[in-house]
Protein backbone atom coordinates (compact mmCIF):
# COMPACT_ATOMS: atom_id res chain seq x y z
CA UNK A 1 0.00 0.00 0.00
CA UNK A 2 1.36 3.43 -0.91
CA UNK A 3 1.78 6.04 1.83
CA UNK A 4 -1.07 8.15 0.38
CA UNK A 5 -3.45 5.17 0.43
CA UNK A 6 -2.40 4.29 3.99
CA UNK A 7 -3.00 7.91 5.03
CA UNK A 8 -6.44 7.88 3.39
CA UNK A 9 -7.31 4.54 5.00
CA UNK A 10 -6.24 5.69 8.46
CA UNK A 11 -7.84 9.12 8.10
CA UNK A 12 -11.19 7.66 6.96
CA UNK A 13 -11.25 5.11 9.78
CA UNK A 14 -10.53 7.88 12.29
CA UNK A 15 -13.32 10.09 10.85
CA UNK A 16 -15.81 7.20 10.85
CA UNK A 17 -15.00 6.36 14.46
CA UNK A 18 -16.24 9.87 15.35
CA UNK A 19 -19.24 10.10 12.98
CA UNK A 20 -20.00 10.58 9.30
CA UNK A 21 -17.38 11.20 6.62
CA UNK A 22 -17.68 12.75 3.16
CA UNK A 23 -15.46 11.03 0.60
CA UNK A 24 -14.63 12.92 -2.61
CA UNK A 25 -13.50 10.76 -5.49
CA UNK A 26 -12.95 10.57 -9.21
CA UNK A 27 -15.62 8.07 -10.28
CA UNK A 28 -14.25 8.02 -13.83
CA UNK A 29 -11.37 5.73 -12.87
CA UNK A 30 -11.83 2.28 -14.38
CA UNK A 31 -11.58 0.40 -11.07
CA UNK A 32 -14.32 2.48 -9.39
CA UNK A 33 -17.73 0.81 -9.25
CA UNK A 34 -20.66 3.19 -8.74
CA UNK A 35 -24.01 3.55 -10.57
CA UNK A 36 -23.66 4.34 -14.29
CA UNK A 37 -25.24 7.76 -13.79
CA UNK A 38 -22.30 8.80 -11.56
CA UNK A 39 -19.50 7.12 -13.50
CA UNK A 40 -18.57 10.31 -15.41
CA UNK A 41 -18.27 12.43 -12.26
CA UNK A 42 -14.72 13.53 -11.36
CA UNK A 43 -16.03 15.15 -8.16
CA UNK A 44 -18.41 12.54 -6.73
CA UNK A 45 -19.11 13.14 -3.03
CA UNK A 46 -20.35 10.23 -0.93
CA UNK A 47 -21.35 10.37 2.73
CA UNK A 48 -20.24 7.28 4.65
CA UNK A 49 -21.27 6.15 8.10
CA UNK A 50 -20.68 3.09 10.21
CA UNK A 51 -24.39 3.33 11.15
CA UNK A 52 -25.64 2.39 7.67
CA UNK A 53 -28.09 -0.52 7.48
CA UNK A 54 -25.76 -2.34 5.14
CA UNK A 55 -22.19 -2.69 6.38
CA UNK A 56 -19.28 -1.07 4.58
CA UNK A 57 -15.76 -2.41 4.68
CA UNK A 58 -12.77 -0.10 4.82
CA UNK A 59 -9.85 -2.22 3.66
CA UNK A 60 -6.26 -1.24 2.94
CA UNK A 61 -6.91 -0.76 -0.77
CA UNK A 62 -10.36 0.85 -0.68
CA UNK A 63 -13.97 1.08 0.41
CA UNK A 64 -16.38 -1.79 -0.30
CA UNK A 65 -20.10 -1.90 0.36
CA UNK A 66 -23.61 -1.48 -0.83
CA UNK A 67 -24.48 2.23 -0.87
CA UNK A 68 -27.88 3.78 -1.53
CA UNK A 69 -28.37 6.04 -4.57
CA UNK A 70 -31.86 7.48 -4.92
CA UNK A 71 -33.14 4.92 -2.43
CA UNK A 72 -31.72 1.98 -4.40
CA UNK A 73 -28.74 -0.03 -3.16
CA UNK A 74 -25.74 -0.41 -5.43
CA UNK A 75 -22.61 -2.48 -4.84
CA UNK A 76 -19.71 -0.01 -4.77
CA UNK A 77 -15.97 -0.40 -4.91
CA UNK A 78 -13.97 2.75 -4.26
CA UNK A 79 -10.21 2.27 -4.38
CA UNK A 80 -8.22 4.79 -2.37
CA UNK A 81 -6.37 5.75 -5.56
CA UNK A 82 -9.62 7.44 -6.71
CA UNK A 83 -10.16 9.31 -3.40
CA UNK A 84 -8.81 12.86 -3.32
CA UNK A 85 -10.49 14.31 -0.20
CA UNK A 86 -12.15 13.16 3.01
CA UNK A 87 -13.89 15.52 5.42
CA UNK A 88 -16.50 15.79 8.14
CA UNK A 89 -19.72 17.03 6.46
CA UNK A 90 -20.91 19.32 9.26
CA UNK A 91 -17.66 21.15 10.05
CA UNK A 92 -15.92 20.85 6.67
CA UNK A 93 -12.73 19.80 8.50
CA UNK A 94 -10.75 17.19 6.69
CA UNK A 95 -7.93 16.44 4.31
CA UNK A 96 -7.29 16.92 0.58
CA UNK A 97 -4.64 14.90 -1.24
CA UNK A 98 -3.67 17.31 -4.00
CA UNK A 99 -1.62 14.72 -5.91
CA UNK A 100 -4.77 12.57 -6.24
CA UNK A 101 -7.01 15.30 -7.68
CA UNK A 102 -7.70 14.72 -11.38
CA UNK A 103 -5.72 17.14 -13.54
CA UNK A 104 -8.84 18.45 -15.30
CA UNK A 105 -10.38 19.74 -12.04
CA UNK A 106 -9.81 23.40 -11.17
CA UNK A 107 -9.13 24.15 -7.48
CA UNK A 108 -11.66 26.96 -7.65
CA UNK A 109 -14.34 24.46 -8.69
CA UNK A 110 -13.39 22.13 -5.85
CA UNK A 111 -13.47 24.87 -3.19
CA UNK A 112 -16.83 26.12 -4.42
CA UNK A 113 -18.53 22.74 -4.48
CA UNK A 114 -16.80 20.69 -1.81
CA UNK A 115 -19.93 20.22 0.22
CA UNK A 116 -22.41 20.30 -2.63
CA UNK A 117 -24.73 22.63 -0.72
CA UNK A 118 -23.21 25.58 1.11
CA UNK A 119 -24.57 26.41 4.52
CA UNK A 120 -24.97 29.96 5.77
CA UNK A 121 -21.83 29.90 7.90
CA UNK A 122 -19.72 28.70 4.93
CA UNK A 123 -20.45 31.51 2.52
CA UNK A 124 -17.56 33.79 3.41
CA UNK A 125 -15.35 31.60 5.58
CA UNK A 126 -12.31 29.70 4.38
CA UNK A 127 -12.79 26.05 3.62
CA UNK A 128 -10.94 24.27 6.40
CA UNK A 129 -9.72 21.33 4.33
CA UNK A 130 -5.95 21.05 4.20
CA UNK A 131 -4.24 20.12 0.99
CA UNK A 132 -1.49 17.58 0.84
CA UNK A 133 0.85 17.50 -2.12
CA UNK A 134 2.81 14.44 -3.16
CA UNK A 135 5.34 15.03 -0.37
CA UNK A 136 2.66 14.88 2.34
CA UNK A 137 3.14 18.50 3.41
CA UNK A 138 0.04 20.54 4.24
CA UNK A 139 -0.78 23.76 2.44
CA UNK A 140 -2.85 26.76 3.55
CA UNK A 141 -6.65 26.32 3.77
CA UNK A 142 -8.57 26.98 0.57
CA UNK A 143 -10.61 30.15 0.21
CA UNK A 144 -14.32 29.62 -0.16
CA UNK A 145 -16.17 31.43 -2.94
CA UNK A 146 -19.00 33.70 -1.90
CA UNK A 147 -22.36 32.10 -2.41
CA UNK A 148 -25.33 33.90 -3.89
CA UNK A 149 -27.47 32.28 -1.18
CA UNK A 150 -28.05 33.89 2.18
CA UNK A 151 -29.99 33.05 5.30
CA UNK A 152 -33.04 35.15 6.01
CA UNK A 153 -34.29 34.96 9.58
Model pLDDT for residues 79-100, shown as the tens digit of each residue: 999 999 999 999 989 999 988 9
Model pLDDT for residues 28-81, shown as the tens digit of each residue: 999 999 999 999 999 999 999 998 888 899 999 999 999 999 989 999 999 999
Model pLDDT for residues 115-146, shown as the tens digit of each residue: 433 332 332 233 345 555 544 444 444 444 44
CATH value at residue 74: 2.30.30.220
141 in a structural domain:
no
Q: Choose among 136, 140, 142: nearest CA to 6.
A: 136
Neighbouring C-beta atoms of residue 61, cutoff 10 Å? 15
Q: How far apart are CA 10 and CA 54, in angstroms?
A: 21
Output phi, psi for 43, to 5 deg: -125, 50
pLDDT, mean over the chain: 77
140 in a structural domain:
no
Question: Where in the sequence is the domain holding 11, given as residue range(s)?
Answer: 3-132
What proportions of the chain, in percent to the nearest 5, are helix, strand and coil?
20, 30, 50
Amino acid sequence: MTQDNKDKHDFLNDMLSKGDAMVCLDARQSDVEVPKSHKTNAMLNLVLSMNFRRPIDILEDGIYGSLSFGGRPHKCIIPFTAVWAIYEPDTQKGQVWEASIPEDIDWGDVAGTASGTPSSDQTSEKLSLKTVDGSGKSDKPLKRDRSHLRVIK
